[in-house]
């Protein structure tokens, strides 16, 4: 079960790229206590302003698309509206073309609409369309509805209070007495310990292999004596030139 504690920090600004509930209540502690029994994730519960309490955060739902989201929002709004009278659900994120809204009064869901272009189930709706929805849900020539985030703000203004109307002073009042529901995560399951492999008694330790002795270094080879140089041969005496014989007269 989530724990409830006072809100701390700067005022939480929400409108575009946000998900929130609007509940008709004068005591946000009672709203927080009821939501704590729903097993929600982490959310912030504002102080009441103009008869409405706002619950902000992605932890409002576990599911995020189509029929599964519808079933979860339906149970949440019917439970809250049965206790406090009226409950509204709004979500929008332009990054994935996500827009949705729902309303319940006296414990009965009257309308739910959701669309997202980035998912396989691109649109899901339940209940009769209200007149104020018609301008935002007109179909184009291809039969597709391209819903804009301004549609969410317009319906929030008509069905409760649009957060786009809040000034900085209003946001400060909302969170001056705000509360926080912290999600309590289950303790991690301990990992099973690895069993040690049974050792057989007959198994003997292998004898450690002895290191081979390092081979001795051979002594350096002795240098061979250099061969003696042979004595140079003596030069032969030059032969005497023979004189020419006298010519005979």
Q: What is the residue-level pLDDT of the chain in tens, covering all 249 positions?
A: 779 999 999 999 999 999 999 999 999 999 999 999 998 889 999 999 999 999 999 999 988 888 999 999 999 999 999 999 999 999 999 999 999 999 999 999 999 999 998 888 899 999 999 999 999 999 988 888 999 999 999 999 999 999 999 999 999 999 999 999 997 665 666 666 666 666 555 555 566 666 666 666 676 666 666 655 666 666 666 655 555 555 554
- Indicate whether this model's pTM tops 0.85: no
Looking at residue 121, what is its pLDDT?
87
Both tokens of residue 28?
């946000």
Q: Residue 152 in contact with residue 101, Cβ under 8 Å?
A: yes
pLDDT of residue 120: 85
């Amino acid at each position: 079960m989530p724990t409830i504690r006072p809100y701390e920090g700067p005022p939480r600004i929400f409108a575009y790229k946000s998900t929130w509930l609007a509940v008709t209540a004068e005591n946000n502690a009672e709203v927080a206590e009821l939501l704590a029994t729903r097993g929600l994730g982490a959310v912030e519960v504002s102080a009441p302003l103009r008869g409405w309490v706002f619950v902000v955060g992605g932890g409002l739902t576990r599911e995020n698309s189509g029929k599964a989201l519808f079933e979860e929002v339906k149970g949440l709004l019917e439970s809250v509206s049965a206790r406090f009278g009226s409950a509204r659900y709004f979500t929008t994120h332009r990054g994935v073309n996500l827009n949705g809204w729902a309303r319940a009064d006296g414990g009965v869901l009257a309308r739910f609409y959701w669309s997202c272009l980035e998912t396989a189930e691109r649109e899901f709706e339940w209940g009769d369309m209200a007149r104020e929805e018609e301008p935002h849900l007109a179909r184009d020539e291809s039969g597709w509805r391209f819903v804009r985030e301004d549609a969410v703000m317009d319906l929030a203004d008509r069905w409760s209070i649009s957060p786009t109307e809040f000034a900085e002073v209003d946001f400060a009042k909302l969170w001056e007495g705000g509360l926080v529901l912290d999600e309590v995560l289950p303790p991690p399951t301990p990992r099973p310990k690895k069993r040690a492999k049974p050792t057989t008694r007959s198994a003997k330790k292998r004898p450690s292999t002895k290191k081979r002795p390092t081979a001795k270094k051979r002594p350096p080879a002795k240098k061979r004596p250099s061969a003696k140089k042979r004595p140079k041969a003596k030069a032969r005496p030059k032969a005497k030139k023979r004189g020419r014989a006298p010519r005979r007269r």
